[in-house]
């Protein structure tokens, strides 16, 4: 079994079989993570470069750990200490790195489309670790893994993505992935944060968080992304919390169970209260742990293709 592409640029148009294969492969690597020695020789001899042009805690560490646990050689690139500070272009930077013979490139960039652009002049396998407001495929994969791990399935589940949908690459990748896997996807947030025409993606819209909670099995609560000018879409963070914050009081009105996800980093007291972020319904740190297994699965499947 192998993936239908040699890159992971996003989940748009990725076949269900590919997503299923990644999720199933990650189960094996999740077991490896529970062993005393959390390392397998699968990618021995492969060299992987992590190109992070934008800040990251979870994704960067998670990819690096995944690579080390697969026994690959890893190199980390950071813009602040690189020659891009001397004016070297992105393309020249990558071509110079590639001249050193690398097999795979993991890239995070503030501009949408950079991973695709890389495929035009690099022979390495390219993995998108988040590009602008476009896609964050491994985040959506680990979200789906975490839902499936807890609820046993994805097909037929009602999953609502709450918050700043317009600025969110996580929302976009989740919508593509969840729809491919047969989930019913909705979004909830202020109208200024819901992209016009999102219904055309087969997504339902809730304008009230209480309705979203009442009608969903899973809430994926997104961060209000102040660095992407989300603050201009709402009167204040306090007002956002009052109208859309996921709180214990709101969850208490729910009949039946609800699972709470958050991709992190969390703005406590804005999109989610501290009580919910640390409470019994959430799987936020499970998502982080599962992220390593998902990234191991993606690296393994792409790195061992013929
Ligand atoms: N969820 C996520 O992408 O977090 P980081 O920005 O810390 O990588």
pTM: 0.96
List Cβ neighbours of 93 (8 Å cut-off, separation of 6 or more): 77, 82, 83, 84
Joined together, the tokens standing for residue 272 give: 């989610």
Q: DSSP assignment of 126-179, as one string?
A: EEEEEETTTB-HHHHHHHHHHHHHHHS--TT-EEEEES-GGG-HHHHHHHHHHH
The alpha helices in 1-113, defined as continuous H runs, are 16-32, 58-69, 90-99
What percent of the chain is predicted at pLDDT more than 90? 92
pLDDT band per the 50, 70, 90 thresholds, residue 49: very high
Nearest residue to 30 via CA among 301, 287, 302, 260: 287
Residue list, ligand 1 pocket, CB within 6 Å:
56-59, 130, 139, 263-265
Q: In testing the pocket of ligand 1, which one of 55, 170, 224, 265 has its CB within 8 Å of the most ligand atoms?
A: 265
- CA 119 from chain centre, in angstroms, equals 20
Residue 160 tokens read as: 């609502």
Please give the Cα distance from 23 to 268 (Å, whole number): 30
Band (79; pLDDT cuts 50, 70, 90): confident
pLDDT confidence band for 306 (50 / 70 / 90): confident
> How does pLDDT run across 229-258, given as a tens digit for each residue?
666 788 899 999 999 999 999 999 999 999
Q: What is the pLDDT of residues 159-198, one digit of tens each?
A: 999 999 998 999 999 999 999 999 999 999 999 999 999 9
Distance 31 CA to ligand 1 centre (A): 23
């Amino acid at each position: 079994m192998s993936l239908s592409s040699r890159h992971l640029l996003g989940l748009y148009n990725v076949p269900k079989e590919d997503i299923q294969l990644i999720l199933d492969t990650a189960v094996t690597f999740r077991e490896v993570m529970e062993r005393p020695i959390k390392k397998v020789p699968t990618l021995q001899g492969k060299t992987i470069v992590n190109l992070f042009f934008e800040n990251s805690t979870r994704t960067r560490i998670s990819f690096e750990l995944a690579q080390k646990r697969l026994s690959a050689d890893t190199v980390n690139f950071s813009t602040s200490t690189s020659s891009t500070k001397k004016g070297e272009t992105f393309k020249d930077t990558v071509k110079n790195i590639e001249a050193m013979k690398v097999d795979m490139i993991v890239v995070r960039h503030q501009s949408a489309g950079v991973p695709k652009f890389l495929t035009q002049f690099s022979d390495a396998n390219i993995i998108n670790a988040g590009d602008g407001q476009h896609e964050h495929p491994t985040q959506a994969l680990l979200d789906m893994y975490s839902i499936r791990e807890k609820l046993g399935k994805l097909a037929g589940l009602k999953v609502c993505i709450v918050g700043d949908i317009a600025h969110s690459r996580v929302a976009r990748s989740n919508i593509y992935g969840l729809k491919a896997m047969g989930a019913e996807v909705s979004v909830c947030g202020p109208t200024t944060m819901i992209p016009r025409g999102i219904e055309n993606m087969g997504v339902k819209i809730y304008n009230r968080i209480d309705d979203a909670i009442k009608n969903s099995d899973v809430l994926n609560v997104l961060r209000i992304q102040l660095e992407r000018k989300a603050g201009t879409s709402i009167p204040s963070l306090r007002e956002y919390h009052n109208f859309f914050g996921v709180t214990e009081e709101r969850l208490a009105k729910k009949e039946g169970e609800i699972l709470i996800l958050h991709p992190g980093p969390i703005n406590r007291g804005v999109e989610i209260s501290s009580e919910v972020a640390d409470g019994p319904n959430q799987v936020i740190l499970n998502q982080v742990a599962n992220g390593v297994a998902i990234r191991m699965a993606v690296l393994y499947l792409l790195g061992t293709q013929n």
